[in-house]
Amino acid sequence: MAKRQLLDIDAASGIVLSGVGALEPEPSALSEAGGKFTAEPAISPVDIPGFDNSIMDGFAVRAADTADASPDRPLGLEIAGESRAGTPFGGGLGSRQAIRISTGAPVPEGADAVLQKEIVTTEGSRLNVSARVEAGHDIRRRGEITTAGREILPAGTALGAVGLGTLASVGIDSISCHRTPCVSLLTSGDELVEPGGTLGPGQIWDSNRFSVSALVDEAGATLVSFGNVKDDRQATVDALERALESDLTVICGGVSVGDHDHVRPALAELGVEQKFWGLALKPGRPTWFGQRGESRVLGLPGNPVSAFVVFRLLAMPLLRMLAGGGPPGERVTAMLAGPVDRLGGRLRAVPCHPARTGDPGELVPMPQLGSHDFLSLVGATHLALIPPGSGRAEKGDVVETLPLGEG
Protein backbone atom coordinates (compact mmCIF):
# COMPACT_ATOMS: atom_id res chain seq x y z
CA MET A 1 0.00 0.00 0.00
CA ALA A 2 1.38 3.39 -0.97
CA LYS A 3 2.09 5.74 1.89
CA ARG A 4 -0.65 8.37 2.03
CA GLN A 5 0.30 12.04 1.92
CA LEU A 6 -0.27 14.01 5.10
CA LEU A 7 -1.78 17.46 4.74
CA ASP A 8 -0.55 20.41 6.76
CA ILE A 9 -3.23 21.98 8.93
CA ASP A 10 -3.62 25.15 6.84
CA ALA A 11 -4.19 23.15 3.65
CA ALA A 12 -6.68 20.93 5.50
CA SER A 13 -8.48 23.99 6.86
CA GLY A 14 -8.71 25.39 3.33
CA ILE A 15 -10.40 22.18 2.16
CA VAL A 16 -12.79 22.05 5.12
CA LEU A 17 -13.86 25.68 4.58
CA SER A 18 -13.90 25.58 0.78
CA GLY A 19 -17.27 26.71 -0.56
CA VAL A 20 -18.73 27.07 2.90
CA GLY A 21 -21.45 29.69 3.20
CA ALA A 22 -23.76 30.71 5.97
CA LEU A 23 -26.83 28.55 6.46
CA GLU A 24 -30.22 29.92 5.40
CA PRO A 25 -31.73 32.78 7.40
CA GLU A 26 -34.77 32.26 9.61
CA PRO A 27 -36.72 34.53 11.94
CA SER A 28 -35.60 34.18 15.55
CA ALA A 29 -37.42 35.42 18.62
CA LEU A 30 -35.10 37.42 20.83
CA SER A 31 -35.54 34.86 23.61
CA GLU A 32 -34.12 32.17 21.30
CA ALA A 33 -31.50 34.17 19.39
CA GLY A 34 -28.62 33.98 21.87
CA GLY A 35 -25.43 32.70 20.22
CA LYS A 36 -26.79 33.12 16.68
CA PHE A 37 -25.44 35.46 14.00
CA THR A 38 -27.64 38.12 12.43
CA ALA A 39 -28.47 37.60 8.75
CA GLU A 40 -29.35 41.25 8.17
CA PRO A 41 -28.55 44.62 9.71
CA ALA A 42 -30.71 45.60 12.67
CA ILE A 43 -32.41 48.98 12.19
CA SER A 44 -33.77 50.95 15.11
CA PRO A 45 -37.53 51.51 14.70
CA VAL A 46 -37.53 54.36 17.22
CA ASP A 47 -35.53 57.21 18.71
CA ILE A 48 -33.57 56.32 21.84
CA PRO A 49 -34.19 57.92 24.25
CA GLY A 50 -37.76 58.37 23.06
CA PHE A 51 -38.16 61.57 25.08
CA ASP A 52 -36.03 64.13 26.91
CA ASN A 53 -35.36 62.73 30.38
CA SER A 54 -33.48 63.51 33.54
CA ILE A 55 -29.96 62.25 34.23
CA MET A 56 -30.35 62.89 37.97
CA ASP A 57 -32.87 62.91 40.77
CA GLY A 58 -33.66 66.59 41.25
CA PHE A 59 -35.87 69.36 39.94
CA ALA A 60 -36.79 70.31 36.38
CA VAL A 61 -36.70 74.08 35.87
CA ARG A 62 -36.49 76.83 33.27
CA ALA A 63 -32.82 77.83 33.07
CA ALA A 64 -33.84 81.47 32.55
CA ASP A 65 -35.61 81.45 35.94
CA THR A 66 -32.28 80.76 37.70
CA ALA A 67 -30.31 83.54 35.99
CA ASP A 68 -30.23 85.80 39.06
CA ALA A 69 -29.67 83.07 41.67
CA SER A 70 -26.51 83.22 43.84
CA PRO A 71 -25.36 81.96 47.25
CA ASP A 72 -25.93 85.44 48.69
CA ARG A 73 -29.35 85.84 47.09
CA PRO A 74 -31.08 82.43 46.81
CA LEU A 75 -34.02 82.37 44.47
CA GLY A 76 -37.30 80.69 45.32
CA LEU A 77 -39.30 78.57 42.87
CA GLU A 78 -42.68 76.91 43.44
CA ILE A 79 -42.64 73.07 43.40
CA ALA A 80 -45.68 72.42 41.21
CA GLY A 81 -45.65 68.64 40.90
CA GLU A 82 -43.58 65.54 40.19
CA SER A 83 -42.38 63.58 37.16
CA ARG A 84 -41.46 59.97 37.93
CA ALA A 85 -40.01 57.25 35.74
CA GLY A 86 -43.05 55.67 34.14
CA THR A 87 -45.40 58.38 35.48
CA PRO A 88 -44.76 61.73 33.75
CA PHE A 89 -45.98 65.08 35.08
CA GLY A 90 -49.28 65.79 33.38
CA GLY A 91 -48.89 69.45 32.49
CA GLY A 92 -46.42 72.09 31.44
CA LEU A 93 -44.00 74.09 33.55
CA GLY A 94 -44.96 77.66 34.34
CA SER A 95 -42.75 80.63 35.03
CA ARG A 96 -40.77 80.40 38.31
CA GLN A 97 -41.96 76.85 38.86
CA ALA A 98 -40.05 73.61 39.43
CA ILE A 99 -41.05 69.97 39.03
CA ARG A 100 -39.60 67.28 41.27
CA ILE A 101 -38.08 64.70 38.89
CA SER A 102 -36.60 61.18 39.13
CA THR A 103 -33.69 59.76 37.15
CA GLY A 104 -34.99 58.69 33.74
CA ALA A 105 -38.32 60.51 34.11
CA PRO A 106 -39.62 62.68 31.23
CA VAL A 107 -38.67 66.34 31.38
CA PRO A 108 -41.94 68.34 31.53
CA GLU A 109 -42.89 70.65 28.70
CA GLY A 110 -41.37 74.07 29.30
CA ALA A 111 -38.41 72.81 31.39
CA ASP A 112 -34.94 72.92 29.85
CA ALA A 113 -32.62 72.04 32.77
CA VAL A 114 -32.44 69.81 35.83
CA LEU A 115 -31.04 70.84 39.20
CA GLN A 116 -29.45 67.97 41.12
CA LYS A 117 -31.28 67.22 44.36
CA GLU A 118 -28.10 67.48 46.43
CA ILE A 119 -27.39 71.13 45.49
CA VAL A 120 -30.77 72.67 46.40
CA THR A 121 -32.91 72.92 49.51
CA THR A 122 -36.65 72.83 49.99
CA GLU A 123 -39.08 74.42 52.40
CA GLY A 124 -42.50 72.82 51.94
CA SER A 125 -43.47 73.62 48.34
CA ARG A 126 -40.62 76.12 47.87
CA LEU A 127 -37.36 75.24 46.12
CA ASN A 128 -34.36 77.37 47.08
CA VAL A 129 -31.86 77.81 44.25
CA SER A 130 -28.47 79.39 45.03
CA ALA A 131 -26.73 79.06 41.62
CA ARG A 132 -27.73 79.59 38.02
CA VAL A 133 -27.97 76.61 35.69
CA GLU A 134 -27.45 76.45 31.93
CA ALA A 135 -30.08 75.16 29.53
CA GLY A 136 -29.64 71.43 28.85
CA HIS A 137 -27.98 70.71 32.20
CA ASP A 138 -28.45 67.05 33.29
CA ILE A 139 -30.92 66.27 30.49
CA ARG A 140 -30.65 63.35 28.10
CA ARG A 141 -32.03 64.49 24.75
CA ARG A 142 -34.43 62.47 22.63
CA GLY A 143 -32.56 60.52 19.95
CA GLU A 144 -29.07 61.19 21.32
CA ILE A 145 -28.27 57.45 21.44
CA THR A 146 -29.89 56.53 18.14
CA THR A 147 -32.65 57.68 15.85
CA ALA A 148 -35.36 55.76 14.00
CA GLY A 149 -34.00 54.24 10.77
CA ARG A 150 -30.38 54.06 11.91
CA GLU A 151 -28.41 50.78 11.75
CA ILE A 152 -27.55 49.60 15.24
CA LEU A 153 -26.08 46.15 14.51
CA PRO A 154 -24.45 45.00 11.26
CA ALA A 155 -25.24 41.68 9.61
CA GLY A 156 -23.03 38.92 10.96
CA THR A 157 -23.18 40.12 14.57
CA ALA A 158 -22.89 37.40 17.21
CA LEU A 159 -25.85 37.86 19.54
CA GLY A 160 -24.51 37.76 23.06
CA ALA A 161 -25.32 39.98 26.03
CA VAL A 162 -24.50 43.21 24.19
CA GLY A 163 -26.29 42.35 20.95
CA LEU A 164 -29.42 41.02 22.63
CA GLY A 165 -29.51 43.97 25.02
CA THR A 166 -29.13 46.39 22.11
CA LEU A 167 -32.06 44.88 20.24
CA ALA A 168 -34.23 44.79 23.33
CA SER A 169 -33.40 48.42 24.13
CA VAL A 170 -35.07 49.56 20.88
CA GLY A 171 -38.04 47.21 21.24
CA ILE A 172 -37.03 44.61 18.64
CA ASP A 173 -38.34 41.18 19.67
CA SER A 174 -37.47 39.17 16.55
CA ILE A 175 -34.64 39.27 14.03
CA SER A 176 -33.47 37.25 11.03
CA CYS A 177 -30.54 35.01 11.99
CA HIS A 178 -28.69 32.27 10.18
CA ARG A 179 -29.83 28.81 11.15
CA THR A 180 -27.77 27.17 13.86
CA PRO A 181 -25.66 24.30 12.47
CA CYS A 182 -26.81 20.82 13.46
CA VAL A 183 -24.18 18.30 14.53
CA SER A 184 -24.40 14.54 14.96
CA LEU A 185 -21.75 12.91 17.14
CA LEU A 186 -20.77 9.26 17.05
CA THR A 187 -18.09 7.49 19.04
CA SER A 188 -16.81 4.19 17.67
CA GLY A 189 -15.55 1.14 19.49
CA ASP A 190 -16.57 -1.96 21.47
CA GLU A 191 -14.24 -0.82 24.25
CA LEU A 192 -16.23 2.30 25.14
CA VAL A 193 -18.47 2.36 28.20
CA GLU A 194 -20.74 5.17 29.42
CA PRO A 195 -19.25 6.92 32.49
CA GLY A 196 -20.85 5.42 35.58
CA GLY A 197 -21.01 1.99 33.98
CA THR A 198 -18.86 -0.98 34.93
CA LEU A 199 -15.73 -1.57 32.87
CA GLY A 200 -15.13 -5.02 31.50
CA PRO A 201 -11.70 -6.36 30.53
CA GLY A 202 -9.95 -3.99 28.13
CA GLN A 203 -12.68 -1.36 28.25
CA ILE A 204 -12.48 2.40 28.88
CA TRP A 205 -14.98 5.14 29.60
CA ASP A 206 -16.24 7.17 26.66
CA SER A 207 -14.82 10.64 27.37
CA ASN A 208 -15.01 11.87 23.76
CA ARG A 209 -18.81 11.93 23.84
CA PHE A 210 -18.72 14.51 26.63
CA SER A 211 -15.69 16.58 25.64
CA VAL A 212 -16.74 16.87 21.98
CA SER A 213 -20.36 17.56 22.97
CA ALA A 214 -19.09 20.46 25.06
CA LEU A 215 -17.05 21.74 22.10
CA VAL A 216 -20.18 21.62 19.92
CA ASP A 217 -21.97 23.78 22.49
CA GLU A 218 -18.99 26.13 22.69
CA ALA A 219 -19.08 26.51 18.91
CA GLY A 220 -22.70 27.64 19.13
CA ALA A 221 -23.99 24.60 17.23
CA THR A 222 -26.79 22.24 18.19
CA LEU A 223 -26.07 18.60 18.97
CA VAL A 224 -29.04 16.78 17.45
CA SER A 225 -27.93 13.20 18.01
CA PHE A 226 -25.16 11.21 19.62
CA GLY A 227 -24.35 7.60 20.32
CA ASN A 228 -21.77 4.85 20.39
CA VAL A 229 -21.26 2.58 17.39
CA LYS A 230 -19.95 -0.91 17.98
CA ASP A 231 -17.22 -2.38 15.78
CA ASP A 232 -19.66 -3.79 13.25
CA ARG A 233 -19.81 -2.84 9.55
CA GLN A 234 -23.59 -2.73 9.17
CA ALA A 235 -24.15 -0.98 12.50
CA THR A 236 -21.64 1.65 11.39
CA VAL A 237 -23.41 2.13 8.03
CA ASP A 238 -26.81 2.45 9.72
CA ALA A 239 -25.60 4.95 12.33
CA LEU A 240 -23.81 7.10 9.75
CA GLU A 241 -26.79 7.07 7.39
CA ARG A 242 -28.94 8.64 10.12
CA ALA A 243 -26.20 11.07 11.16
CA LEU A 244 -25.70 12.38 7.61
CA GLU A 245 -28.96 14.31 7.89
CA SER A 246 -26.96 16.86 9.95
CA ASP A 247 -24.84 19.72 8.64
CA LEU A 248 -21.79 18.10 10.24
CA THR A 249 -21.25 14.54 11.40
CA VAL A 250 -18.38 14.04 13.82
CA ILE A 251 -17.20 10.51 14.49
CA CYS A 252 -14.45 9.72 16.98
CA GLY A 253 -12.39 6.62 16.23
CA GLY A 254 -12.70 3.92 13.61
CA VAL A 255 -11.08 5.93 10.78
CA SER A 256 -7.72 4.13 10.76
CA VAL A 257 -6.70 0.95 8.94
CA GLY A 258 -7.35 -1.73 11.57
CA ASP A 259 -9.42 -4.82 10.87
CA HIS A 260 -12.22 -3.41 13.01
CA ASP A 261 -12.13 0.17 11.69
CA HIS A 262 -15.31 0.32 9.60
CA VAL A 263 -15.91 4.06 9.29
CA ARG A 264 -14.18 4.82 6.00
CA PRO A 265 -15.68 1.86 4.08
CA ALA A 266 -19.11 2.72 5.50
CA LEU A 267 -18.80 6.33 4.39
CA ALA A 268 -17.73 5.24 0.91
CA GLU A 269 -20.76 2.96 0.73
CA LEU A 270 -22.98 5.91 1.65
CA GLY A 271 -21.54 8.08 -1.11
CA VAL A 272 -19.49 10.42 1.07
CA GLU A 273 -16.55 11.72 -0.98
CA GLN A 274 -13.20 11.65 0.79
CA LYS A 275 -11.49 15.07 0.70
CA PHE A 276 -8.46 14.13 2.77
CA TRP A 277 -7.24 11.48 5.17
CA GLY A 278 -4.23 12.19 7.35
CA LEU A 279 -2.84 15.39 8.86
CA ALA A 280 0.76 16.44 9.34
CA LEU A 281 -0.17 17.14 12.94
CA LYS A 282 0.56 15.71 16.37
CA PRO A 283 -1.78 14.85 17.90
CA GLY A 284 -4.31 14.24 15.16
CA ARG A 285 -2.66 12.43 12.27
CA PRO A 286 -5.44 9.89 11.45
CA THR A 287 -8.06 12.58 10.71
CA TRP A 288 -10.56 12.08 7.86
CA PHE A 289 -12.78 14.62 6.14
CA GLY A 290 -15.41 14.13 3.45
CA GLN A 291 -18.63 15.50 2.04
CA ARG A 292 -21.93 14.36 0.54
CA GLY A 293 -23.92 17.26 -0.84
CA GLU A 294 -24.10 19.89 1.87
CA SER A 295 -23.48 17.35 4.64
CA ARG A 296 -19.90 17.19 5.91
CA VAL A 297 -18.16 14.46 7.89
CA LEU A 298 -15.16 14.88 10.17
CA GLY A 299 -13.56 11.67 11.35
CA LEU A 300 -11.52 12.37 14.46
CA PRO A 301 -8.93 10.09 16.03
CA GLY A 302 -10.20 8.10 18.98
CA ASN A 303 -7.55 9.35 21.40
CA PRO A 304 -9.24 12.14 23.36
CA VAL A 305 -6.50 14.78 23.14
CA SER A 306 -6.31 14.28 19.37
CA ALA A 307 -10.09 14.61 19.03
CA PHE A 308 -10.05 17.80 21.13
CA VAL A 309 -7.21 19.41 19.17
CA VAL A 310 -8.53 18.60 15.69
CA PHE A 311 -12.07 19.71 16.56
CA ARG A 312 -10.79 23.08 17.70
CA LEU A 313 -8.56 23.52 14.66
CA LEU A 314 -11.02 22.37 11.97
CA ALA A 315 -14.59 21.92 13.21
CA MET A 316 -14.95 25.16 15.15
CA PRO A 317 -14.08 27.42 12.20
CA LEU A 318 -16.41 25.38 9.98
CA LEU A 319 -19.33 25.66 12.40
CA ARG A 320 -18.70 29.39 12.84
CA MET A 321 -18.89 29.98 9.08
CA LEU A 322 -22.01 27.84 8.71
CA ALA A 323 -23.60 29.89 11.48
CA GLY A 324 -22.86 33.13 9.60
CA GLY A 325 -19.91 34.29 11.68
CA GLY A 326 -17.47 34.74 8.81
CA PRO A 327 -13.88 33.49 8.52
CA PRO A 328 -12.16 32.47 11.76
CA GLY A 329 -9.39 34.60 13.19
CA GLU A 330 -8.62 32.99 16.51
CA ARG A 331 -4.85 32.45 16.30
CA VAL A 332 -2.58 34.80 18.24
CA THR A 333 1.15 34.87 18.83
CA ALA A 334 2.85 34.27 22.18
CA MET A 335 6.31 33.65 23.59
CA LEU A 336 7.34 30.22 24.85
CA ALA A 337 8.44 30.13 28.48
CA GLY A 338 10.24 26.83 27.91
CA PRO A 339 11.63 24.64 25.12
CA VAL A 340 9.53 22.21 23.02
CA ASP A 341 10.92 19.48 20.78
CA ARG A 342 9.96 19.84 17.13
CA LEU A 343 8.51 16.88 15.30
CA GLY A 344 10.12 16.34 11.90
CA GLY A 345 7.52 16.93 9.22
CA ARG A 346 4.51 17.51 11.48
CA LEU A 347 3.08 20.53 13.27
CA ARG A 348 2.95 19.95 17.00
CA ALA A 349 0.07 21.26 19.12
CA VAL A 350 1.16 21.66 22.73
CA PRO A 351 -1.15 22.68 25.61
CA CYS A 352 0.13 25.68 27.55
CA HIS A 353 -0.79 27.91 30.46
CA PRO A 354 0.32 31.49 31.18
CA ALA A 355 3.58 31.98 33.04
CA ARG A 356 2.98 32.99 36.63
CA THR A 357 6.02 35.24 36.63
CA GLY A 358 7.87 37.17 33.96
CA ASP A 359 6.35 38.49 30.74
CA PRO A 360 2.52 38.29 30.78
CA GLY A 361 2.64 37.13 27.14
CA GLU A 362 4.68 34.02 27.98
CA LEU A 363 3.13 30.56 27.81
CA VAL A 364 4.45 27.54 29.68
CA PRO A 365 4.36 24.25 27.72
CA MET A 366 2.62 21.53 29.74
CA PRO A 367 3.93 17.94 29.94
CA GLN A 368 1.98 15.17 28.23
CA LEU A 369 2.19 11.40 28.34
CA GLY A 370 0.56 11.15 24.92
CA SER A 371 -2.66 11.79 23.01
CA HIS A 372 -4.52 9.49 25.41
CA ASP A 373 -3.63 11.76 28.37
CA PHE A 374 -6.71 13.98 28.58
CA LEU A 375 -5.77 15.16 32.06
CA SER A 376 -2.81 16.97 30.47
CA LEU A 377 -5.30 19.55 29.19
CA VAL A 378 -6.42 20.59 32.68
CA GLY A 379 -5.49 24.24 33.18
CA ALA A 380 -4.48 24.77 29.54
CA THR A 381 -5.50 28.13 28.06
CA HIS A 382 -3.80 27.85 24.66
CA LEU A 383 -2.43 25.36 22.17
CA ALA A 384 1.03 26.40 21.02
CA LEU A 385 1.49 25.44 17.36
CA ILE A 386 5.13 24.39 17.01
CA PRO A 387 6.19 24.37 13.33
CA PRO A 388 7.77 21.19 11.95
CA GLY A 389 11.51 20.89 11.70
CA SER A 390 14.54 19.53 13.52
CA GLY A 391 15.80 20.43 16.96
CA ARG A 392 13.46 22.32 19.22
CA ALA A 393 11.64 25.57 19.72
CA GLU A 394 13.47 27.44 22.44
CA LYS A 395 12.39 29.55 25.36
CA GLY A 396 11.66 33.05 24.05
CA ASP A 397 10.61 31.88 20.59
CA VAL A 398 7.40 33.49 19.34
CA VAL A 399 4.88 30.98 17.96
CA GLU A 400 1.26 30.95 16.83
CA THR A 401 -1.22 29.80 19.46
CA LEU A 402 -4.89 28.91 19.53
CA PRO A 403 -6.78 30.26 22.57
CA LEU A 404 -8.89 27.60 24.23
CA GLY A 405 -11.33 29.72 26.18
CA GLU A 406 -11.96 27.74 29.36
CA GLY A 407 -8.96 25.97 30.82
The pLDDT value given to residue 360: 65
- Give residue-wise pLDDT tens across range 36-64: 999 999 999 999 999 999 999 999 999 99
Following CA atoms 367, 369, 374, 375 in sequence, which dihedral angle do they give, to the nearest 10 degrees?
-50
Range in 19-28, 141-150, 194-203 with the lowest mean pLDDT: 194-203
- CA gap 63, 41 in Å, rounded: 41
The residue ranking higher by pLDDT, 243 or 358, is 243
Reported confidence tier of residue 215, pLDDT bands at 50, 70, 90:
very high
- Give residue-wise pLDDT tens across range 337-390: 999 999 989 999 999 999 887 666 799 999 887 788 888 899 999 999 999 999
Mean pLDDT, rounded, of the chain: 92
Has residue 261 got a pLDDT over 80?
no
The pLDDT value given to residue 83: 97
Range in 106-120, 201-215, 277-291, 393-407 with the lowest mean pLDDT: 393-407
From the list 324, 345, 354, the residue with the least C-alpha distance to 388 is: 345
Query: What's the average model confidence in pLDDT over 252-267?
Result: 79
- CA gap 291, 262 in Å, rounded: 17
The pLDDT value given to residue 1: 42
Measured between alpha carbons, how far is residue 224 from residues 114, 181, 221, 253, 353 in Å? Answer: 56, 10, 9, 20, 33
Following CA atoms 380, 385, 386, 387 in sequence, which dihedral angle do they give, to the nearest 10 degrees?
170
Residue 353, exposed/middle/buried by CB under 10 A (0-12, 13-18, 19+)?
Answer: middle
The pLDDT value given to residue 257: 63
From the list 288, 172, 196, the residue with the least C-alpha distance to 240 is: 288
- Give residue-wise pLDDT tens across range 76-127: 999 999 999 999 999 899 999 999 999 999 999 999 999 998 889 999 999 9
Query: What's the average model confidence in pLDDT over 204-209?
Result: 88
From the list 357, 338, 314, 321, the residue with the least C-alpha distance to 399 is: 338
- Give residue-wise pLDDT tens across range 130-189: 999 999 999 999 999 999 999 999 999 999 999 999 999 999 999 999 999 999 999 988
Has residue 231 got a pLDDT over 90?
no
The pLDDT value given to residue 255: 77
Reported confidence tier of residue 407, pLDDT bands at 50, 70, 90:
very low
The pLDDT value given to residue 194: 85
Cis (ω within 30 of 0) for the bond into 283?
yes
Has residue 68 got a pLDDT over 70?
yes
